[in-house]
Amino acid sequence: MNSRKVVFIFWSTLLLGSISGGIVGVLTNLDRYLGDGAENFLIGLVWMLGISAAFTLVSQMGFFAYLFIHRFGLGLSRSHKLWNRIQWILIAFVFFDLVYFRYIAFGENNSFWGYFIIPTALFLYAVIIATIKARETNKGAFVPALFFMFVITTIEWIPAIVADDPNWLILYLTPLLVGNTYQLLLLHRLHKKT
């Protein structure tokens, strides 16, 4: 991988994440941005693009951090099987935490089962992306891709989870998912060109 490809990943991910988050951010607050004319709409759009760009940068930092963590984990465990088992344990732990700790923090008057929706949806999305990654590369890529898409995305998403505001949850998650998915599925394609 040369520096040109790293720069390409950086800018293309930043562009896709910013646009996706900007669109979702404007659509979720459309009444606020359309209410006071075109100038208000443009300022709101620029604001949403800027915030989404910041969230996309978090996605990129998480991706490169995971590349390091994955290699480090493989080096420590000296076995793909052991490292995969460790990742499965961490996936289960994060799923439990995402349900239980959100319920403890915010679920006073809500049903416990309602807190399964977001982790389950995120997990199913991660399974779909990991399956695509495994089909395009090899079967051994499934667990690392699943771990990245579920655990690392959840870690990157913590500031919005703590706020517990539905608008922030969606606005923050959109560029994270777009950025993480794009980077994960692009990396092996760039390696093939080398």
CA angle 185-122-161, nearest 5°? 115
Secondary structure E strands in 57-180? none
Separation of alpha carbons 73 and 88, rounded Å:
13
> Per-residue pLDDT for 35 more than 80?
no
Report how far residue 109's alpha carbon sits from residue 95's, in angstroms, rounded to the nearest whole number: 22
Per-residue pLDDT of 128-174, as tens digits, reads 999 999 999 999 999 999 999 999 999 999 988 888 788 888 999 99
Q: What angle do CA 63, 140, 79 make, to 5 degrees?
A: 90
Q: Tell me the mean pLDDT in the region 16-40.
A: 86
List C-alpha distances in Å: 54 to 12, 99, 104. 14, 26, 29
- Is residue 24 within 8 A of residue 51, CB to CB? The reply is no
| Residue 62 or 194, more confident | 62
DSSP code per residue over 102-123: HHHHH-SSS-GGGGGHHHHHHH
Highest mean pLDDT among 63-67, 68-72, 128-132 belongs to 128-132
pLDDT at 122 over 90: yes
Phi and psi for 58 in degrees, rounded to 5?
A: -60, -40
User: Distance (Å, rounded) from C-alpha 149 to C-alpha 147?
Assistant: 6
Q: pLDDT, tens digit, for every residue of 101-111?
A: 888 888 777 88
Tokens, residue 113? 């089962």
The residue ranges of every structural domain in the chain are 3-193
Q: What is the pTM of this model?
A: 0.90
Burial class (CB in 10 A: 0-12, 13-18, 19+), 67: middle
